[in-house]
């Protein structure tokens, strides 16, 4: 079974972020300045073992891979940003590809959505728009990714390179996109691609009809209680301030029954995007490693119902620190979430790589 962790590359400065948010901006900028917004609110969440790293440093990327492998992650799924030929945040993955290090499996997820200031408290500010110029752009895009698909470290499912599409419903013609990319992959001698549609954060549900091989269902780790409903009403009336708060569930919710096809389960270690959104954010309260372990247990069970060779568990994410959504060690729980992952995999009879850390 594959255990893939989504990987954010925004831990190094780029000219665009310097221009939009100030010189030297990285994901750590918002993480470090976060503060508690209500009693019992843990902020800031600070990194432990790996520190405030810079992804331009190869030793950092190696340390991440070593840590992930030791606790049962089988590969990183790097977010990939393509805007009609313009790529952003590409340096970490480009260096992984060019250097051959770390020797750790990977795949890509195209984050095909416009960038706005929503990440940083300015939701109406469009920074760069996602557009779809047509087949010519698809050909250029595929050509840019071909060397990655051909890398021996690239994760394959059913013998084909695995590619996630974050917003399949944003594609002008999803079925035509699938058809074109499968043809290009066949023509390149790859035997096609294993294309996965992301569901749960939009109304898109035609992944089967459009020809996707599978889908991953994202469910925010929120459990509504009477107390949270009352608080929402008070917030709507302006009586209390945000952020919104929900209980982190004791188990992983099943996907809606109306979703067809092969579904990959996904598990969130936590959620707290107040470093980005302040009082406009949302917090999952009580997200302990033990509760994360219970969610993993159900996720592993669901993943193993898939066809042999197509069993995948997606963890969202490895290092989304400004969403409070990460596996990497922090100063609150140390390696607790990684240990929960290793424990649940072992309990399910899934062997891990020998630990050397």
Q: What is the mean pLDDT of residues 58-73?
A: 98
Q: What is the mean pLDDT of residues 71-96?
A: 98
Higher per-residue confidence, 352 vs 175 = 175
Q: List the one residue out of 131, 261, 254 whose CA is nearest residue 196.
A: 261
pLDDT tens digits, one per residue of 189-225? 999 999 999 998 888 999 999 999 999 999 999 998 8
Name all domains of the chain by residue range, CATH numbers in brackets.
Answer: 2-347 (3.20.20.80)
Q: Given this model, what pLDDT does residue 352 score?
A: 73
Nearest to 328 by CA among 272, 274, 270: 270
Map residue 30 onto helix, strand or coil: helix
- The SS3 assignment for 237 reads coil
List the Cα angle 285/291/295 in 5-degree steps.
115
pLDDT score recorded for residue 273: 96
Beta bridge mates, 88: 81
The pLDDT value recorded for residue 118 is: 57
Report the share of the chain in percent with pLDDT over 70: 97
- pLDDT value of residue 355: 44
Mean pLDDT, residues 10-22: 96
Q: Is the pLDDT of residue 120 over 90?
A: no
The region of weakest confidence among 14-18, 76-80, 254-258 is: 254-258
Q: Kindly indicate the confidence band of residue 226, based on its pLDDT and cuts at 50, 70 and 90.
A: confident
Segment 325-345 shows an average pLDDT of: 98
Counting other chains too, the contacts that 127-132 makes at CB distance below 8 Å and 24 or more residues apart are 127/16, 127/20, 128/16, 128/83, 128/86, 128/88, 129/83, 130/83, 130/167, 130/170, 131/83, 131/84, 132/84, 132/171, 132/172
Does position 227 have pLDDT exceeding 90, yes or no? no
* pLDDT higher than 90, residue 354: no
């Amino acid at each position: 079974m594959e255990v893939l962790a989504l990987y954010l590359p925004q831990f190094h400065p780029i000219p665009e972020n310097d221009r939009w948010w100030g010189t030297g901006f990285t994901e750590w900028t918002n993480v470090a300045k976060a503060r508690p917004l209500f009693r019992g609110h843990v902020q800031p969440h600070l990194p432990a073992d790996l520190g405030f790293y810079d992804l331009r440093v190869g030793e950092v990327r190696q340390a991440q891979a070593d840590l992930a492998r030791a606790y049962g992650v089988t590969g990183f799924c790097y977010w990939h940003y393509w805007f009609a030929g313009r790529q952003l945040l590409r340096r970490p993955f480009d260096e992984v590809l060019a250097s051959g290090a770390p020797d750790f499996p990977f795949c890509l997820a195209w984050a095909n959505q416009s960038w706005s200031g929503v990440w940083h408290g300015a939701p109406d500010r469009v920074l760069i728009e996602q557009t779809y110029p047509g087949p010519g752009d698809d050909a250029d895009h595929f050509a840019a990714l071909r060397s990655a698909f051909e890398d021996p470290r690239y994760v394959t499912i059913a013998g084909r390179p695995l590619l996630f599409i974050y917003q399949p419903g944003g594609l002008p013609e999803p079925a035509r996109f699938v058809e074109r990319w499968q043809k290009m992959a066949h023509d390149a001698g790859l035997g096609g691609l294993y294309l996965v549609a992301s569901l749960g954060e939009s109304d898109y549900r035609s992944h089967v009809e459009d020809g996707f091989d599978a889908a991953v269902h994202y469910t925010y780790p929120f459990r509504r209680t009477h107390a949270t409903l009352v608080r929402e009403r008070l917030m709507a009336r302006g009586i209390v301030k945000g952020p919104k708060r929900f209980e982190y569930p004791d188990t992983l919710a099943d996907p809606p029954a109306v979703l067809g096809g092969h579904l990959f389960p996904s598990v969130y270690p936590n959620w707290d995007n107040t470093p980005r959104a302040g009082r406009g954010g949302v917090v999952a309260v009580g997200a302990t490693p033990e509760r994360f372990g219970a969610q993993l247990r159900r996720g592993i069970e669901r993943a193993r119902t898939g066809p042999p060779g197509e069993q995948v568990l997606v963890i969202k994410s490895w290092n989304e620190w400004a969403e409070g959504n990460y596996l990497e060690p922090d100063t609150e729980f140390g390696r607790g979430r990684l240990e929960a992952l290793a424990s649940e995999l072992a309990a399910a009879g899934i062997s891990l790589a020998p630990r050397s850390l």
